[in-house]
Structure 1
């Protein structure tokens, strides 16, 4: 326990309808910090209330600050609030929000340098085409914009930068030219909902039926953005179906279902009985993992892949890209594939569906998942806070 440590957090992103990666990171970390005796205040814009469902059990202070714009809130209103409240430290956990004139030390969490990473993959020839094919927009690291410049200034202002994986840490150091001594990895962990015991199978089956899911099925959880390569997953599944016609593919994405993906499925002769697209699944997600045969993602590269960890927490074998942090998270419990090789990925899926193989990997997956927990992440983050507080008192 550490007494009298008061930390402010930028919590503006917790207005979302459902928790995604950065949201789950913030909620999980704050909850554990409070458990370890830290006083936490979540700051947000007064005109954008936080989603009460996300913060109701956090036992921390919630402060809405009035402003004229998001930039005014971040760079003028927030630092004044930190000064007035005599905060020991400020943490920007969601890739934005570093007040350049903060009156206290600042920790900045960067979850991914997606644009830089895909620019490099295309330039190196690992991915064909152009960057916009994968991001949905053009990206060039040498181009100038006000927001890119502001981000660079925030990088410079932060005392320490936290990343969710060693892979992400290496990319931040390499692509953003940040000195390695300022970048520290603290791994993510699964949300507490994935700690609960599985519901009886008959209750899960009732839920699955209401959603239009038939067993056995493969499961993908994540975004629908182009770089998640859901189109490639559909192509892979079409190959798998030639051998396992009984299988269904359940895709649990967020925000909205791109029309192009539905068209892709139809072009592959995959109908509504073969593929189910879902949006913003929340409480039901645990049941979806518990009844799945495998978790599969063909996302080109992930800087953590939290859904894979969630699946492993439920004892579900996982398959993911050989690029990125998937293997760092999954360890020997995960099967890596070349996300460019759909036939190879399909063969890996078919091998893992064999009962003896699946049972073996299920046990490994659960054991691997136990290595990631919020208590450990909270302790590692708290150590960073202590270092900064110690420097301020010298």
Structure 2
């Protein structure tokens, strides 16, 4: 290779090295500036990014021109072209940055408005954020409405037994009731009302833990047949008092990983709800097995006559009883049992649903099957 050929190659490597060094220096300064301005407006950060990118490019181009064998008017012309191109690039970049900032400010203004409505025509990322925010606001509004309904209904449900307790306590205190039989009946009734209030408070506490994500599960390997047997034994006295027949059909081995106490409570809530809505002399059936999709399945079928189609999506709503009158019956609750069951099942990575089936409805719990 001749000395004439080796010289341009050496100059080229020097230009590359100097350009890379200048680019790294400018980039490092830009990162430092962005870090210091990370809490400022997105417009400021975009401006810094644009300046850094254009400065690094122009620095490399200028070094290359200065090191090349270009002199006189030609070099001046090339430098002028580079300078104009850089200014045009900066101007165009700032215009685009202002457009992005304007769109982000539209989103910020929409977030501050009440009610929130996602603006349309935003860039894809901002539109995704706006859609997620709109869904979150809708969920929050629905939860707030449910909370208000819950407070109103529970206040009514608490007021009724408390009024009865107060009346009986005043009658006993004032001596209005004296005969032993009536006094004994009052004491039994007071104990019953206290039990109802205690159960209602327990349900409210459990529901609050579920909504707060504070439900702690101690999962172990259990068989659904054992869970069905335990639930059947616990609900038998309630069914006998109502005159309802309880039966069970459980496969021999359906293993799942679950908290026996929590899942038992969810299943027990479904069974008690089924007994409550089944006429005397009819049957409530518990089943455990594996469905066609390979999921462990628990089902509770009753004889309630079915649920109106428009009410099916609301069955698991807090305080929903499916009744025009919200006054609880003697065996009724605050309408929290199904909402609690849903929260427990979903905490087990399962699903719960209800369908009309035959003479009544059927609640289905599906859980991941534990395979060997």
Normalising to structure 2: TM-score of the pair?
0.19
Q: Which has the greater radius of gyration?
A: 2
From the two aligned structures, give the one with the greater helix fraction.
2
Normalising to structure 1: TM-score of the pair?
0.19
Pick 1 or 2: higher relative contact order, CA cutoff 8 A, min separation 6: 1
